[in-house]
Amino acid sequence: MSPPVAPPGWSRWLVPPAALAVHLSIGQAYAWSVFKPPLEEALGLTGTQSALPFQLGIVMLGLSAAFGGTLVERNGPRWAMTVALICFSSGFLLSALGAATEQYWLIVLGYGFVGGIGLGIGYISPVSTLIKWFPDRPGMATGIAIMGFGGGALIASPWSAQMLESFGSDSSGIALAFLVHGLSYAVFMLLGVLLVRVPGAAPEARGGVESSAAAAGARQLPAGPQVSANQAIRTPQFWCLWIVLCMNVTAGIGILEKAAPMITDFFANTSTPVSVSAAAGFVALLSAANMAGRIGWSSTSDLVGRKNIYRLYLGAGALMYGLIALAGDSSKPLFILCALVILSFYGGGFATIPAYLKDLFGTYQVGAIHGRLLTAWSTAGVLGPLIVNWIADRQEAAGKDGSSLYTLSLFIMIGLLAVGFVANELVRPVHPRHHVPVPASEEQPEDRPEKQPEKQSKAKEAADVQQQQ
Amino acid sequence: MSSSSSSGPPSRRGLIAFAWVWVGVPLAYGLYELVQKATQLFTG
């Protein structure tokens, strides 16, 4: 499938909804927990077993994003969105068959393995295209899409719960719910497949409603350094950003994963303990902060520079953790406020990283590079909960309770954020020896770095980095 | 989708509106449910 080039008059504002159609769908993954209790009851599973489809799905997300990124760059966003649609929907259809026949391995294979490939390819599918359409606001553009991944769970969680209530929580009800999910998401994601376009090679191809802005973007699109995905992982910059993302996500996930028991434990010994429903409200509020941070902070990075915004995420994040640790159970509003800010930085860190990669490695294979960087997410997904849970268990065994259960974890998070802060400070422009030499005869219109004198390219690169610092 | 003039490229305003409504309605539903739940922090 050749990448679909935008005809004259195609508006770049059609690309974010295309990206959202995919991300709002695959974000359903974070609402898997809705299916866990009914599956455990209907198929006689343990909690660990019922988590398998989700865990395998996240592993496959990381693997397919890391290894499929180059294919996505080569075949274009429509191919990638089609693969994501087929895999994600087939995953649900296979799961429906598995639930109907009470063959749990089919659910693990369908939702986890096949659906997981859809998650990874879908996650990176619009990134490169959005950055090419919005070279003037790459943070905002990728922020919209990645906000969608957070939004997907907000939609799926109540929707799936209502469906199970209507169809029943036995195996046939679950099967029907999976079937409806598979078909609905296929239709919903189809909009993305049909709408997505890569910018035309010529500025005049971007006329129409957004002609002037898009044309301005088109002229800047391929400027700056261009580094291939294979070369990028050989640069210290990639690994610095890997550490930055890993530390930022670990710090956020540490709170997100244990939010409800954490706020309950924190204020258990006070005159105003937190009820179960209030703790659920706190978790919901954290999700809102996570989503708002994705679009808000990522858009802000277009104004203040990527390096500066990560200084904020990591530096102010550490300060927030410090405030929680020092204040203990003395102030509930302060605890909530700090947790919300940390979660907004967590979301912002996810959403800003593609634009940071674009600044350093160019648009040439930014989607593939982003896919490889997502292994930091997988690592953080294990690290964050492990640190908080393990330490809380140890503290409890040592006879501690209340906010002191988490004090050590909070200081470890501050240390991790400090490591990320240093890694961010070490980011420098990529050495020209890593840049892609583009023979004129082999250039492709959609990924062609603009031909310009080497001096001019280096000046642009230096200016980009100066702007960040 | 409508054409603005015979000489210029077609205007995509209708398509843009449709596309944003397509993704905006489910997102609004999710946000509404989220706000309902979040208020429990202050009322629960």
Confidence of residue B16 (pLDDT cuts 50, 70, 90): very high
Report the alpha-carbon distance of residue A139 to residue A127 in Å, rounded.
10
B3 domain-assigned: no
**Residue at B8 is within a domain:** no
The answer to the question of residue B31 being in a domain is yes
Question: Domains in chain A and their CATH numbers?
Answer: 14-196+214-219 (1.20.1250.20), 229-433 (1.20.1250.20)
Residues 1-40 of A with CB under 8 A from B: 7-11, 13-14, 17-18, 20-21, 24
Facing residue for A17 by CB, picked from B8, B11, B19: B19
Give the range of the structural domain holding residue B18, as residue numbers without chain letter. Answer: 13-43
Half-sphere exposure of A172 (CA within 13 A, CB side): 0
| Interface membership of B5 toward A (CB under 8 Å) | no
Nearest-angstrom CA–CA distance, A411 and A400: 16
φ, ψ (nearest 5 deg) of residue A198? -90, 150
Taking only the tens place, the pLDDT of each residue in A144-191 is 999 999 889 889 989 999 999 999 999 999 999 999 999 999 999 999
Does A278 sit within 8 Å of B22, measured CB to CB? no
Report the C-alpha gap between A57 and A77 in whole angstroms. 21
List, for residues A321-359, the tens digit of each pLDDT value: 999 999 988 899 999 999 999 999 999 999 999 999 999
Q: What is the mean pLDDT of residues A8-20?
A: 93
Residue B35 lies in a domain: yes
Please indicate, yes or no, if residue B17 is contained in any of the structural domains.
Answer: yes
Is B7 part of a structural domain of the chain?
A: no
Does an H or E element contain A291, and which?
A: helix A276-304
pLDDT band (50, 70, 90) for residue A452? very low
**Cα diameter, chain A:** 74
Tens of pLDDT, residues A183-237: 999 999 999 999 999 998 644 344 333 444 444 444 444 567 799 999 999 999 9
B2's tokens:
């409508």
d(CA A253, CA A342): 10
More confident residue, A56 or A83: A83
Number of domains in chain B: 1
Q: Is the dihedral of CA A149, A155, A158, A164 positive or negative?
A: negative
- What is the overall mean pLDDT for chain A? 86
C-alpha A139/C-alpha A391 separation (Å) is 36
Amino acid A1: pLDDT: 63
Query: Measured between alpha carbons, how far is A331 from A141 in angstroms, rounded to an integer?
Result: 37
Residue A5, φ and ψ in degrees, nearest 5:
-85, 135
- Give how far B27 is from chain A: nearest CA, Å: 6
Report whether A360 contacts A138 (CB < 8 A). Answer: no
